[in-house]
Chains A and B, each alone.
Chain A
Amino acid sequence: MKLVIDEARCKGCNLCLLVCPYRIFQEGTKANERGIVVPALDRPERCPNCRLQKLYGRTLCGVCQMICPDQAIRWDDEAPREPQKVVIEF
């Protein structure tokens, strides 16, 4: 699964940065169309949920999704044979 930040919802509060045990979320650099600086992702494949949700059939960790006040974080299925890289989507 891949970690996705929904840019239509993110308000740039950076709470996810504070809680991720793997420090996957980093301060973003550029403001998007809405003027929000969305966090950047540093090697999101380290996220246990990305790697193991399919295997265990439940959400692992998931604290970022719980704490995000705008429900902007989700995990999506990857397309088959997509390179292991997470994309921030609109």
Chain B
Amino acid sequence: MSFRDWYRVDRLPTIYCAGCGNGTVINCALHAVDALAWKKEETVFVSGIGCSSRAPGYISTDSLHTTHGRALAFATGVKMARPDLHVVVFTGDGDLAAIGGNHFIHACRRNVDMTVICMNNWIYGMTGGQGSPTTPVGASTTTTPYGSAEGVFDLSELAVAAGANHVARWTSYHVKELARAIQTGLETPGFSLIEALVQCPTGYGRRNQLREVSDMIEFLKTHAMLLQRYRKLVAEGKPVPAGIFTVGEFVRRNRPAMGVSP
């Protein structure tokens, strides 16, 4: 069995734009699920609303495509009622951190045993390219035509502070590391967040001089810095290059978790 066997092939090709990073992240997630030899009948995918959240519609397990921002609350209900089922959540930056912000921090606090894969493309893609809580300062979107002037969430740091057991961030360029991080998340009891920075050439890239898929991937490749290296630079007081973001495993710990299968 390979990860491709988890797809609903009658639903392919996906609705995603050419070069969308979401397809890549789904591949990595299914790769991880398959590597652990999970069974389809025991796995449930839950999602909110958005491009990211269309993912379960392409996977041939039981899945719950819910209302905007509330995926974690639905997933909590599924997991607490049947702790023996594996629950994986697909969500996006707006779905998780804007409308879903409250459910996000509480799910981390409760440390419910589920794995959340956030496809963070710095934009609201499905609705046409509006700003999100992770849109970089100065970026142009349809609702920030003069450049975004709001502060930005660091979703991984939020999850760490709120109490998640495992938090990691990678990009859709680093496919092997992403698949490995998702696998670690699936194995770790408690709440696990894997933030995947993905390219949205149509929504984000087009308005921010990164229209070509290759441009956005180059951006992700060159602006990613390993967390250890970043922490070392900061500890030594050396300057951190502008515009970079950190990738790697933020935390892996053993706080008491809810809904762990007995």
Chain A positions within 8 Å of B, measured between CB atoms, are 8-9, 11-15, 17-19, 59, 63, 65-72, 74
Contact = CB atoms under 8 A, between A and B. Distances in A.
Contacts of A11: 13, 17-19
Contacts of A67: 24, 27, 172-173, 175
B172 to A, nearest CB: 7
A60 B187 CA distance: 24
Contacts of B21: 69
A71 B12 contact: yes
A63 B175 contact: yes
A71 to B, nearest CB: 6
A36 to B, nearest CB: 8
Contact of A69 (B2, B7, B24, B179): B24
- Chain A interface secondary structure, helix, strand, loop or mixed? loop
Interface residues of B, number: 26
Interface of B: 2, 4, 7, 12-14, 16-24, 27-28, 31, 172-173, 175-176, 179, 213-214, 217
A69 B217 contact: no
Residue with the greatest number of chain A CB neighbours at <10 A, chosen from B16, B28, B213:
B213
Contacts of A69: 14, 16, 18-24, 27
A33 to B, nearest CB: 14
A75 B148 CA distance: 45
What are the 6 tightest A-B residue pairs by CB atom distance, in nearest-first order?
A69-B23, A13-B19, A11-B18, A66-B175, A13-B18, A9-B13
Nearest to B199: A15
B13 A70 contact: yes
